[in-house]
Amino acid sequence: MLAPRELEKSPLFRDISYEEYRRMLPCFQAVGRSYQADELIYDFADAQQDDVGVIERGAAALIRIDEEGVATVMEELGPGGVFGRNLAFAGSAGDSLEVVCRTPCEVLFIDYPHILRRCESACAYHSTLVQNMLRLMADKAQALSERIDVLSRRSIREKLLCYFRQLAARAGGSSFTLPFSLSVLADYIATDRSAMMRELKRLREEGVVCSEGRRFTLL
């Protein structure tokens, strides 16, 4: 079960109180499970898995593996993060999608058909949850579009600047904070970390960006 503070971070439970959240779990046949670091949480190829997963504790990653076995991190998932077959978008034939633990995790699984089924009690929070689910699908579609924009760039420099401009636009200015570490950034733009660090150094030396830790500014 999510703690009150973690509940506030989860887009799936937006505008749902903690008491409503506790009451809805039995209604949606929610089940909690624990996982160890590097353990597989969710295989999108498994037709039997039709649940929506919510990270309660720990950190995980949504990873795409192409036909050649190359893994690309599609999304980092922390407490409140949501995943599921109905929230993902199909890649090329032969690609696979998995959610894997980065650290030990506790995950809440909610039965997806129960979310869509008409609530016999006509609970207001049930309608709110469905609205949140639809909004979440739209947000993930937007995030996927932005990710494709980054990955379609040919050079490491172009990928970095494309992603930095996206973050700056979200922040409403020229300064922004990376949402994850530089190692994860390399995974996100699908490039070698050492090569990415060399390019970042060049961008600083040329006066294109300045940075302190994870705080960056486009100049």
Which H or E run includes 14? none
Helix residue ranges, H only, the chain: 4-9, 18-27, 112-116, 124-151, 156-171, 182-188, 193-205
DSSP-based three-state secondary structure for 44 = coil
CATH architecture of 4-150: Sandwich (2.60)
pTM, two decimals, is 0.71
**In what helix (H) or strand (E) does residue 16 lie, and over which residues does it extend?**
none
Distance CA 68, CA 144 (A): 21
Q: Which helix (H) or strand (E) holds 30?
A: none
For residues 76 and 210, give the distance between their C-alpha atoms in angstroms, rounded to a whole number.
Answer: 25
DSSP for 157-192 reads HHHHHHHHHHHHHHHTSSEEE-SS-HHHHHHHTTS-
One-letter amino acid identity for 62? L
pLDDT tens, N- to C-terminus, the chain (219 residues): 778 888 888 888 888 889 888 888 887 778 999 999 999 999 888 767 778 888 988 999 988 887 887 778 888 888 888 888 877 655 555 678 899 999 999 998 988 877 777 666 657 777 888 888 888 878 877 887 888 899 889 899 999 999 999 999 999 999 999 988 898 899 888 889 999 999 999 999 999 999 998 999 999
Question: What is the model's pLDDT at position 137?
Answer: 79
Q: Domain ranges in the chain?
A: 4-150, 153-218
The whole-angstrom distance between residue 199's C-alpha and the CA centroid of its chain comes to 26
Integer Cα distance of 41 and 144 in angstroms: 21
Could you please state the CATH topology (level 3) that the domain comprising 153-218 is classified under: Arc Repressor Mutant, subunit A (1.10.10)
